[in-house]
């Protein structure tokens, strides 16, 4: 692939680079030259007003394959990732069968081969996510796994969690927890607060997240030498707990989803089951704490928790309905609209959360906008105003409350592995 990108603003946090009016010459998928006033020698694209950043990486997506291809496939999921401007994603292991064995890893890898979007795979931490036996971490690590998690459920037993930490550190695996104290969240579709009280639905209290997060941090610290990552945190208390742990030097990282900083529990009254998430949408106070945590570095990454579900799984009552929404295609516009455009985060800070930090947490090689490296780029217009429509959706499922929403910030394209994609 040969292409000249013209008049772009390059923002690359890894090089502390923010330069406007730059041209990038790509030859055979590699960045050959970066400069000003480069002469086109073949295809070129004028990117005036657009930002070119190191490719975005989403470390928490559900691609549903194998086993639930009616919701999403690796192909449709990676297509959605590409449409959302991501050049890499990590898929979670709650498939059927779960990613507890290397043969599932090879199956997934084969399906994802040759795509613009790099696929990293997360294995389970216990066999079939049942919480009873350790997964085959050695074999999983050898097949290229860098992260393990029983995502969707938290590991209930503290003793088992300790063993997971002890065993995982032999293979330098990042241990990721879905923090939920399950005895406190039985049939609880919404946050415990205003909406649960008003509607008479069982509440999923913030403390149920914080209990497991605290326990894990204590165990990780006790075991030592292990890297812990808390998935999709949602509460003010969680931000405080991680901040305090980091200040003590515990090797903890964490992420938040766009919907947890874009919506409060009030969305349940407007959107019904489309606003049913796990963890649930919280309050404005929690959102303020999350944004503060993003700002001060307590929260490392923005991940989507892209969770495709078929229509009939959402078109039902609040208790039976599935948790979660698709997120890959709304992540960037939600981030720009709610974090950057609102003045809470700079573009450099935002890109750091979407590109640099996820790869760092997973210990993947960093990507840079640098001569001589493979072009791995996310290109977006941070000022474009547009409306998200159902026909835009590339994911196989359409479960999102954001249809019809006006956004600021739009993906223009992405380049990786010698391929480029320009949605419109």
Partner 1 sequence: MGKQVGVWVGCFGAGFKRRKSWLGEGSSVAKLILRAESLKAGIFAHLVRETPPTRRDLLTTEHLPVETITRLLDRSDYFVEMLRIPSPFQKLRTLEGRTVANLFFENSTRTRISFELAERRMGADHVTLTPSGSSMTKGESVLDTVRVIEAMKVDAVVVRHSVSGVPGFLAGHLPTHVHVVNAGDGAHEHPTQALLDAAELRAALGDLRGKRVVIVGDILHSRVARSNVWLLKKFGAEVVLVGPSTLLPRHAEKVFGVEVSWKMDDALVKADAVMMLRIQMERMAGGFFPSLEDYSSRYGLSASGAGARRSASCVILHPGPVNLGVELDAEVSGGEQSLVLKQVKRGVAVRMAVLEWMFESETSSRVE
Task: Give the interface with partner 1 as residue ranges (CB under 8 A).
Answer: 192-194, 196-201, 203, 268-274, 310-312, 314-320, 389-391, 398-401, 403-405
Nearer to partner 1, 4 or 201 (CB): 201
Which residue is catalytic, options 23, 286, 305, 381? 305
By beta-carbon proximity to partner 1, the closer residue of 15 and 320 is 320
CA 71 to chain centre: 18
CB 408, min distance to partner 1, A? 18
Instruction: Please report how close the Cβ of residue 315 comes to partner 1 at its closest, in angstroms.
Output: 5
- Nearest residue to 363 (alpha-carbon basis) of 162, 117, 179, 90: 90
**Looking at beta carbons only, is 37 or 404 nearer to partner 1?**
404
How many Å apart are CA 78 and CA 74, to the nearest integer?
A: 6
Q: Give the count of beta carbons closer than 10 Å to the beta carbon of residue 199.
A: 13
Shortest Å distance, C-beta 110 to partner 1: 28
The helix (H) or strand (E) run that includes residue 211 is helix 206-223
Supply the minimum distance, in Å, between the C-beta of residue 207 and partner 1. Answer: 11
Contacts of 210 (CB under 8 A, 6+ apart): 179, 235, 237, 238, 241
Q: Tokens standing for 243? A: 């901040």
Q: Which of 168, 271, 287 is nearest to 233 (CA)?
A: 287
Closer CB to partner 1, 26 or 201, in the complex:
201
- Nearer to partner 1 by Cβ, of 268 and 345: the residue is 268
Beta carbon of residue 98, minimum distance to partner 1 (angstroms, whole number): 24
Write out the two tokens for 373.
Answer: 């490296």
Q: Let me know: does 8 contact 19? Beta carbons within 8 Å.
A: no
CB 377 within 8 A of CB 414: yes
| Residues 6+ away with beta carbon under 8 Å from 159 | none
Residue with structure tokens 């929404």? 325
Determine whether 138 is an active site residue. no
Residues designated catalytic = 305
């Amino acid at each position: 692939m040969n292409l000249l990108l013209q008049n772009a603003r390059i923002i690359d946090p890894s090089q502390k680079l923010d330069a406007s009016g730059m041209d990038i010459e790509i030859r055979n998928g590699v960045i050959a030259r970066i400069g000003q006033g480069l002469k086109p020698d073949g295809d070129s694209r004028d990117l005036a007003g657009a930002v070119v950043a190191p490719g975005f990486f989403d470390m928490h997506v559900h691609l549903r394959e194998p086993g639930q291809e009616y919701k999403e496939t690796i192909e449709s999921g990676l297509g959605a990732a590409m449409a959302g401007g991501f050049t890499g994603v990590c898929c979670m292991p709650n498939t059927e069968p779960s990613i507890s064995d290397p043969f599932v890893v090879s199956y997934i890898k084969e399906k994802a081969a040759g795509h613009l979007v790099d696929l990293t795979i997360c294995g389970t931490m216990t066999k079939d996510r049942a919480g009873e036996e350790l997964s085959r971490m050695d074999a999983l690590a050898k097949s290229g796994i860098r992260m393990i998690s029983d995502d969707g459920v938290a590991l209930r037993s503290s003793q088992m969690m300790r063993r997971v930490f002890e065993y995982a550190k032999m293979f330098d695996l990042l241990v990721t927890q879905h923090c939920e104290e399950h005895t406190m969240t039985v049939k609880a579709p919404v946050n415990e607060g205003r909406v649960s009280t008003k509607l008479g639905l069982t509440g999923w209290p913030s403390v149920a997240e914080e209990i497991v997060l605290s326990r894990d941090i204590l165990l990780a610290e006790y075991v030592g030498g292990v890297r812990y990552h808390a998935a999709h945190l949602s509460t003010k208390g969680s931000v405080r707990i991680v901040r305090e742990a980091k200040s003590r030097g515990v090797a903890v990282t964490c992420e938040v989803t766009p919907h947890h900083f874009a919506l409060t529990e009030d969305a349940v009254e407007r959107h019904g089951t489309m606003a049913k998430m796990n963890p649930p949408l919280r309050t404005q106070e929690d959102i303020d704490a999350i944004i503060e945590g993003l700002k001060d570095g307590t929260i490392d990454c923005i991940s989507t928790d892209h969770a495709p579900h078929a229509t009939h799984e959402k078109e039902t009552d609040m208790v039976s309905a599935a948790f979660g929404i698709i997120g890959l295609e709304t992540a960037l516009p939600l981030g720009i609209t709610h974090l950057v455009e609102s003045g809470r985060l700079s573009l450099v800070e935002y890109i750091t959360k979407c590109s640099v930090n996820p790869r760092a947490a997973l210990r993947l090689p960093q990507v840079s906008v640098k001569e001589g490296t493979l072009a791995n780029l996310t290109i977006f217009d941070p000022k474009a105003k547009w409306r998200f429509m159902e026909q835009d959706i590339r994911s196989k499922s359409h479960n999102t409350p954001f249809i019809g929403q006006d956004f600021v910030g739009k993906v223009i394209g992405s380049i990786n592995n010698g391929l480029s994609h320009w949605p419109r």
